[in-house]
Amino acid sequence: MSNEQTKTDVILIGAGIMSATLGTLLKELAPDWEIKVFEKLEKPGEESSNEWNNAGTGHSALCELNYTVEKPDGSLDISKAIKVNEQFQLSRQFWAYLVNRNLIHNPNDFIMSLPHMSYVQGEKNVNFLKKRFEALSTNPLFEGMEFSDDPEILSEWVPLMLQDRTLNEPIAATKIDSGTDVNFGALTRMLFKHLQAHNVELNYKHSVNNIKRTSDGHWDLKIKNLDSGIVEHHKAKFVFIGGGGGSLHLLQKSGIPEGKHIGGFPVSGLFMVCNNPEIAEQHHAKVYGKAAVGAPPMSVPHLDTRYIDNKKSLLFGPFAGFSPKFLKTGSIFDLITSVKPHNVLTMLAAGAKEMSLTKYLIQQLMLSKEQRMEELRAFIPNAKSEDWDLVIAGQRVQVIKDTVTGGKGTLQFGTEVVSAEDGSIAALLGASPGASTAVHVMLDVINRCFPQHMKEWEPKIQEMIPSYGISLVENPELFRELHASTAQVLGLSESIVNQTHNVSGGTRVLEKA
């Protein structure tokens, strides 16, 4: 054991997309600060950020039906869709800045243009989708969206989905060509390569075992080198806990009051992946359906074209699984050891409230491959079992906390930042839209934890992210300009711009005659 203690400005725990993004932002804002990264695994981007563990949708609310909620009066609340879309635009702008400055290269290795579609069956769902289309398509952020309930048009959009389909109920879809597929694993590796070239110390196979505050207000981290077995002590002014599902335990060890009364519920995901390249070649879109009645938002079925290592793949899912681990590489004791005296009532309340989720998970766990194939056939009617394999995706930990609206033990389906009052430590918890909104989330961390620097940093933030602090929905011309310029830099199709020239109002309704 080593008693030697090294001091640094910033320690980032976990080498995923969040730490990579925060480290890159801080390197631009405070180039002289010393930054160290500690990761338990042997390379970056191996847990939730990995391309096989992450849907890579580039979540921008173009196709996710659960971001637009029908209100009791029948109207639609599109505020979450607008919020998520604006947040993704910040990511696009920051990535374009990095490419422009030659800090990262070859953007098509991590981002590709890909149509985003919503697809529904049944009269009630078709009416909902049309209403959603009407609410979104007049909004500048969703210009270029098309709607159709004509099977002939749909068979042009998604031929694989219409092949051999028996049309005994109405079907409809929306399509918008400005969607993207993002390989967050590749992006994470690029960002860490950039950070390493700019004197950021990356320590792989290092496990953070404990965090405690020192008398001078800094943080002492007890870290084990997994190769040598030596335990080291590292001291930092600021610590970011970005270890995916592993963040909750470290937040609890920090002892900050803000980390109390918070629990976590792990859910694992399974995907079907097509092993027949001829079939994968027939589909070119991310198509999101509607979650089954009573199913949680995380279960929205989607048929995704993916580009992984520049190779086209086709995935369908997710199917939920259950493991008590908080990370794919975690321990089976993760869930039980996260229950503490301060959060036990919160956890018990969630257990009582979420019986339907428990039932759903049990049902999902008991599905045979053939039953999963039946769900896939709602999207691809003639799907053959031998063309599809099962892949275990990432482990996500849904946050459980007491809220004003939901009461004690409310399950949260989003991304949460928990930070100390003095801003010396912050932790990232939760799940989707996560990686897609990493830049927004890390700007929030910077705002909370470094308020004393914000006045000095704001001009640089605006240089990197031109719409920072500006509502794009209220500034449509700025949105179009930034969307076009980032598309050019990132090698994406400028479909919004093109379609606003070609189509009246930027939208088309394509219906049966």
**Is residue 220 included in any domain, yes or no?**
yes
Q: What is the pLDDT of residue 196?
A: 97
pLDDT digits 0-9 by tens, 280-313: 999 999 999 987 766 666 678 999 999 988 789 9
For residues 333-353, give the mean pLDDT: 86
CA dist 60 and 67 (Å) reads 10
**Is residue 376 included in any domain, yes or no?**
yes
Q: What is the pLDDT of residue 500?
A: 37
pLDDT digits 0-9 by tens, 58-84: 899 999 998 998 889 988 999 999 999
Residue 1 confidence (pLDDT) above 70: no
Q: How many CB atoms lie within 10 A of CB 503?
A: 14
Q: Residue 125: give the domain boundaries.
A: 5-462
Tokens for 450? 């470094």
**Is residue 431 included in any domain, yes or no?**
yes
CA dist 306 and 272 (Å) reads 13
Band of pLDDT at residue 15, cut at 50, 70 and 90: very high
CATH of the domain at 227: 3.50.50.60
**Is residue 323 included in any domain, yes or no?**
yes
Instruction: Tell me which of 235-239, 363-367, 441-445, 477-481 is least confident.
Output: 363-367
pLDDT digits 0-9 by tens, 448-477: 999 999 999 999 999 999 999 999 999 999
Band of pLDDT at residue 506, cut at 50, 70 and 90: very low
Domain count, the chain: 1
Q: DSSP letter at 439?
A: H
Residue 407 confidence (pLDDT) above 90: no
pTM across the whole model: 0.92
**Is residue 507 included in any domain, yes or no?**
no
Residue where the block lists tokens 């990761």? 39
Residue 378 confidence (pLDDT) above 90: yes
**Is residue 468 included in any domain, yes or no?**
no
Helix (H) or strand (E) holding 194: helix 184-197
For residues 344-363, give the mean pLDDT: 80
CA dist 212 and 222 (Å) reads 9
**Is residue 129 included in any domain, yes or no?**
yes
Cα dihedral sign, 368-279-49-296: negative
For residues 262-269, give the mean pLDDT: 86
CA dist 6 and 260 (Å) reads 29
- Name which of 171, 115, 120 is nearest 146 in CA terms: 115
Average predicted confidence (pLDDT) for the chain: 90
pLDDT digits 0-9 by tens, 234-261: 999 999 999 888 899 999 999 999 999 8
Task: Report CA-CA distances (Å) from 132 to 66, 147, 154, 280, 502.
Answer: 11, 10, 18, 29, 22
Residue 404 confidence (pLDDT) above 70: yes
